[in-house]
Amino acid sequence: MQTVTARRLLRSSVLALGVLSLTACSMFSSKNERYEPHPLTEYAAGISANVAWTASVGSGGGYGFAPTLLGDSVYVATPSGSVSKVNLATGAIQWKATTDSKLSAGAGSDGRITAVAAADGTITAFNDQGVQVWQAKATSEVNVPPVVGEGMVIVRSSDYRIQAFDAASGEPRWNIQRPGPSLALKTSMQMRIVDGLLISGLPSGKLIAIAVANGHVQWEGTVSVSQGATDLERISDVVGAPQIAGPLLCGVSYQGRIVCFDVSQGGLPIWEQRFSSNTGMTTDSQYVYAANQRDTVYAYGLTDGHEAWKQDALSNRRLSSPAVVPQAVAFGDLDGYVHFLSRTDGRLLGRVNVGGGAILSPLVATPRGVLVQTGGGNLLLVGVN
């Protein structure tokens, strides 16, 4: 996907009902011991993890909030309405702005325009001095962080509509809508812009690729198909962020599958595994990493889907979307711990408590360590040695 050839091959190949908030608390509220968070266990430390810096960027947190890393700058927003640019090396806040209302998602940025979304669908854009430059309105609430690129600000609203606004003016440019289920997850989801294409998961169990310039759908692939007799059983949302690794595009769904598509073969699926994830996955050059809905962590071979290892020492700890660093794969949990697992065999290598309660935002890998946005409104860098 990151090559011109892959891009060309990929190019060739409703009414809003309710949103079911299947948050970690509701999904694990049973008093059945089987669903109790696994206690922290002793292990032989294989790495050293420490908080390098902490920046107070507002208050609150949630699934709709994810830091955006661009070079040495991090763009971050919080539900309180704060939007900040933070220096990756030092944690110094370079600018901070405030919106008129509480936010439901953010922050997306291309380094020139930074966009956030309010619960009523208002999209607010700031320039790179932190000055508000425009506001626009999506058709409904936005719970997925906006993405900014190719001259567009793009959001996905709760009525299953993907909408693009001109990054300079805020004028609407295009929108597409797909029929959606009566219930959908409210969890960690992200979109990506790659080589002029917007890649997004959908509540219907599909991945979709859309030309950013004009909104034309270039490709759709099925990760999973809804099954079951009830609306709850039929939830099959693609969760987390789509993963792009060379010619492969991979996605994972709730109550569905992990699938990797080969865009060099017209987007054909090359392998799949039955799987159910609440929060998504990540990849490196060898493996796909994901925690299932009971927080057992799996690693699958990137090219063939073979199970390389699994680790259940963190079961029911309500793990966040993961991030890969050179030494390990990292997950946040319900108590504010960041856990580091060996990428080769899943062994526990290290952990650090960053505070702020449950980590709901996806972890972000950087050359300096892992960025963590806490539920208490802090942004932290966890260094790993």
DSSP collapsed to 3 states, 205-272: CEEEEEECCCCCEEEEEECCCCCCCCCCCCCCCEEEEEEEECCEEEEEECCEEEEEEEHHHCCEEEEE
Question: How many structural domains are present in the chain?
Answer: 1
Q: How many CB atoms lie within 10 A of CB 96?
A: 16
Q: What is the pLDDT of residue 180?
A: 73
Output the tens digit of pLDDT for each of the chain's 385 residues.
444 444 444 444 422 333 343 433 334 333 445 689 999 999 999 999 999 999 999 999 999 999 999 999 999 999 999 999 999 999 999 999 999 999 999 999 999 999 999 999 999 999 999 999 999 999 999 999 999 999 999 999 999 899 999 999 999 999 999 877 767 777 889 999 999 999 999 988 999 999 999 999 999 999 998 887 787 887 889 999 999 999 999 999 999 999 999 998 989 999 999 999 999 999 999 999 999 999 999 999 999 999 999 999 999 999 999 999 998 999 999 999 999 999 999 999 999 999 999 999 999 999 999 999 999 999 999 999 9
Q: What is the pLDDT of residue 33?
A: 52
- Rounded to 5°, the CA angle 321-326-329 comes to 30
In a domain, 39, yes or no: no
Q: Report the CATH number that the domain containing residue 262 is assigned in CATH.
A: 2.130.10.10
In a domain, 176, yes or no: yes
Spatial CB neighbours of 26, under 8 Å, sequence gap ≥ 6: none
Q: Is the bond preceding residue 52 a cis peptide, omega within 30 degrees?
A: no
Q: Dig out the tokens for 149 from the structure.
A: 């690129």
In a domain, 34, yes or no: no
In a domain, 327, yes or no: yes
In a domain, 227, yes or no: yes
Q: Dig out the tokens for 133 from the structure.
A: 């430059």
Q: Position 124: which residue type? A: T
In a domain, 322, yes or no: yes
Q: What is the pLDDT of residue 34?
A: 67
In a domain, 323, yes or no: yes
CB 369 within 8 A of CB 336: no
Domain extent for 307: 4-23+46-384
Give CA–CA dist 41/196, Å, rounded.
45
Q: Give exposure, 20-37, as e/b (b: 16+ Cβ within 10 Å).
A: bebbbeebbeeeeeeeeb
Q: Dig out the tokens for 62 from the structure.
A: 């949630």
- Rounded to 5°, the CA angle 283-289-290 comes to 130
Spatial CB neighbours of 38, under 8 Å, sequence gap ≥ 6: 295, 312, 313, 314, 315, 316, 317
In a domain, 249, yes or no: yes
Spatial CB neighbours of 30, under 8 Å, sequence gap ≥ 6: none
